[in-house]
Amino acid sequence: MEPTDPAALPKVLLHDHLDGGVRVETVLDLASAAGYTGLPAGDAAGLRSWFHQAGASSLEAYLAAFAHTYGVMQTPEAMTRVAFEAVEDLTRDGVVYAEIRFAPSLHIAGSMTRADAIAAVVRGCEAAESTLGTPARVIVDALRQHRDSPKVARAAAGFVGRGVVGFDLAGPEAGFPPHHHAEAIGIAREAGLRITLHAGEGDGVSSIAAALACGAERLGHGARLIEDTTVRDGRIVAMGPVAREVHEGGIVLEVCPTSNLDTNMYPSPAAHPVGVLHRAGFAVTVNTDNRLMSATTMGREFALVAAHCGMGIEDLGAVTRTALAAAFCDEPTRATVAARLDAGAPG
């Protein structure tokens, strides 16, 4: 019998930030071990509440909360632990394949290099896959507001075929266009990494157009593409040029509903355009973004869009198949995950 509870469906996750999904208990433990004294609360309940509250005003405030997670992730041991626990938590949530992203430049305040940080995360994902059976691959982020993206891309390129599958630009969108990082994108692509770029979250349709011009195969978030459409009675009846390019090109949207609500992109779950975009035939996927900051899971994301965005079990199944088709993994991994989806069992 097929699941009727959206949260019980097997799931494929394409957009999840490593430093946005750390267990609060682990943050406290790592802070104690490292002598990190900057945490805003000293107990798990207080810290969990603070992380969720911190992002409730804007994308910039939301991003500022990360200083306390990457702040305690400055050793290889910490990085490996957090990566393993991320896959462990996702497995419990019914995720059968995950792509986890992080910015190595945020983890070199101590003795690690960018390559050290990437290697540590890959080790954690490999150990989790060996133990739990859930394939997890790594996307390496460069930060739009930094100038070291070519160094990040070169570090990531050293792990092609060894757990790293993609390159991304994260951080604040507005004022930091992706073409400033064209060299890095070129390095990553030349090395064989796939390209997904944050766009259509902190900035609008022009940011999405810029990402497409830089060769984005997927759009991190992308929900603001709805601003380049005309919607009547809950249906898209016309598309502007950017929306049409995304639609006709099958460019995948890595939509993160709860995160968008937390950063005040939309006033209510019912106002989120994920369902409207899906019904119009856009290549929509549903993702967590930052499980700690948004107090979410893939199960909660599925339940939210089912309850408020008109997406039923069949829609969520289609979204999951879209995500798997768009995954940056190799074909043997894709086939293994497809068999698990066919079986309908998250475990």
Over residues 111-147, the pLDDT tens digits come to 999 999 999 999 999 999 999 999 999 999 999 999 9
Q: Which two tokens stand for residue 68?
A: 């306390």
* Average pLDDT, integer, range 313-336: 98
* Average pLDDT, integer, range 161-184: 97
Residue 346: what pLDDT?
42
Instruction: Answer yes or no: is pLDDT of 13 > 60.
Output: yes
Instruction: Answer yes or no: is pLDDT of 54 > 70.
Output: no
Instruction: Answer yes or no: is pLDDT of 86 > 70.
Output: yes
Q: Is 88 a catalytic residue?
A: no
Over residues 276-305, the pLDDT tens digits come to 999 999 999 999 999 999 999 999 999 999
- The CATH architecture annotation of domain 6-338 reads Alpha-Beta Barrel (3.20)
> What is the spatial distance between Cα 127 and Cα 287, in angstroms, rounded to a whole number?
23
What percentage of the chain reaches a pLDDT higher than 90?
92
- Strand positions, DSSP E, the chain: 11-17, 95-102, 136-143, 164-170, 194-199, 218-221, 229-232, 235-239, 252-255, 283-286
Nearest to 276 by CA among 297, 303, 242, 247: 247
pTM exceeds 0.85 for this model: yes
The per-residue pLDDT of the chain, averaged, comes to: 95
**Using the 8-state DSSP alphabet, how is residue 160 labeled?**
B
Over residues 243-266, the pLDDT tens digits come to 999 999 999 999 999 999 998 999
* Catalytic, out of 201, 217, 254, 301: 201
Residue 1: what pLDDT?
47
What residue spans define the domains of the chain? Answer: 6-338
Residue 4: what pLDDT?
79
Instruction: Answer yes or no: is pLDDT of 233 > 90.
Output: yes
Collect all residues with Cβ–Cβ distance below 8 Å to 7 and sequence separation of at least 6: 94, 297, 299, 300, 302, 303
Kind plus residue range of the DSSP H or E element containing 85: helix 76-92
